[in-house]
Structure 1
């Protein structure tokens, strides 16, 4: 099967090979996988989570498209991958080299790529565009850029002590990005934020003294006064002595996705990184803490 022609920045990928990766009978959400409960499971092993480093999953609201970044362990190169329901099954194709960590906007019309983005067109995705001077600053290092339905942006910055920043819309005007509260911007390697579609919570990863041995996932719930609540470690149901990063909640609100990979000491023992999923009840169990 031959796919579309994609353009990614200056890269032109013609006649992209599109592989059918599930049977014709499997055109349901989540690749027809058995849903997890309160114990995280590897997501779609052999299909999405492979021998490669599969990272940063994101879905469209109809759950018929998914995107990840994948580092080929044989070549060391990163790619932006698309999975899509077509002809009664899920297909896989390569859009092009990875640019930033992909995450879709809530309406699925924009794909954020760090300090760049693409917009959906009738032919596929547009060329890669810059977020502009407010965000695409040379002194900021944005890896992940997440947005809510109301237009709130949250993003990380590895060039300035690994901090998270937020920018909101006020009467239709974009406010200057501000540092998030110190209790969120604490610890080491703070990065990869995800803001809920309704803006009610924020998830990110960081290494803190009270953690489980390496980077853990943390959550903060928005309070009634608009302030962000305490940074809550997501606990042993999610975090381990390995690295947990890149949290993302599915558009239907049912599942938390994240990456789990070995620490530097563990590398070579198991795959570099896999995508896991778990029921979002693990989030609500933390809300009253």
Structure 2
């Protein structure tokens, strides 16, 4: 037992020194939905996106879960800090030579804080914390697909990307109580390169994703499509130069209270030795900007 505790202690130190992220099982949806806890002193942005600079994360922001029944093959941390970009629960699963990191967030189906999704997996809240990782089954966990982002609406609709199939986005609804087979979204959405990182609004009123297109500002931009009266998805709309730039923008989602839109901006940098790396920054903006993009009737 002492050896296990020592291994975990060393592993925790490695995680924090490498700025890995996790979150806390006692957390509730309300913790993230209130102004006091979500923003914690951060000055909210207006209709112009602002760089989000979080307070430096410390070891006190992270808690190791299920300590009484710790399993070195799969364990998790939960986050209690004040950064809305952080994932609430991060699970580490031993895959032989290394640990795979699975991040779970309330931003997917924010109305249900008892089930969190990550790619083709999910975890459930239990009396003692969070369950082991569970698969969504062969409908989603397939050798010929590879999901990076799974977004879930309040109705349980899944919207997800797949980079193995030339970067496409699919949707799967619940019809008559049953999960339907995933279907490709229309060509107006599945067009361009690097089509990925979808986010469906909790009420399914709009869909945001990243894509590189000829009408864009350079590399990948954030696009939005609004749900139409006939239940179809409207045209793909570039979210404009306030959100997009000549760099790479993607990964958009809303805070749980729906007040702010968060997204990432990435820039490829060159080191002195000629090698390259990506630098990423987080931005946020008032969600009223979304209404300025909605086509006028």
The Cα RMSD (Å) is: 3.4
Contact map agreement 2:269 2:277 (CA 8 A) in 1: no
In 2, Cα distance between the equivalents of 1:98 and 1:162? 23
Is 1:39 matched up with 2:48?
yes
TM-score, normalization: structure 1? Answer: 0.73
Greater per-residue helix proportion: 2
Q: CA deviation at 1:93?
A: 9.1
Return the offset for 1:178. 0.3
The secondary structure found in structure 1 opposite 2:199 is strand
Larger Rg: 2
CA distance in 1, matches of 2:150, 2:42: 28
- Alignment: residue pair count: 241
1:255-266 to 2 correspondences below 5 Å: 255-263=260-268
- Cα-to-partner distance string for 1:81-114 (whole Å, 9 max, x where unaligned): 743169xxx9x99654664554333212222111
Q: Tell me the distance in 2 between the aligned counterparts of 1:32 and 1:275.
A: 17
In structure 1, distance between residues paired with 2:167 and 2:187? 12
Deviation, 1:29, is 2.2
**Kindly tell me: are residues 39 and 131 of structure 1, through their superposed partners in 2, closer, same or farther at Cα, counting changes over 3 Å?**
same
2:32 aligns with: none
Equivalent residue, structure 2, for 1:56? none
Q: 1:277 to 1:167 in 2, by over 3 A?
A: same
Normalising by structure 2, what TM-score? 0.71
Q: Secondary structure of the residue that 1:38 maps to in structure 2?
A: coil
Unpaired segments ≥5 residues, structure 1: 1-11, 20-25, 51-64, 67-79
Q: Distance in 2 between matches of 1:244 and 1:161?
A: 19
- Asked if structure 1 preserves the Cα contact closer than 8 Å seen for 2:91 and 2:102, the reply is no
2:26 matched residue in structure 1 = none
Pairwise CA distance, 1:264: 6.0
Q: Is the 8 A contact 2:258 2:287 kept in 1?
A: yes
- Does the 8 Å CA contact 1:186/1:208 hold for their aligned counterparts? yes
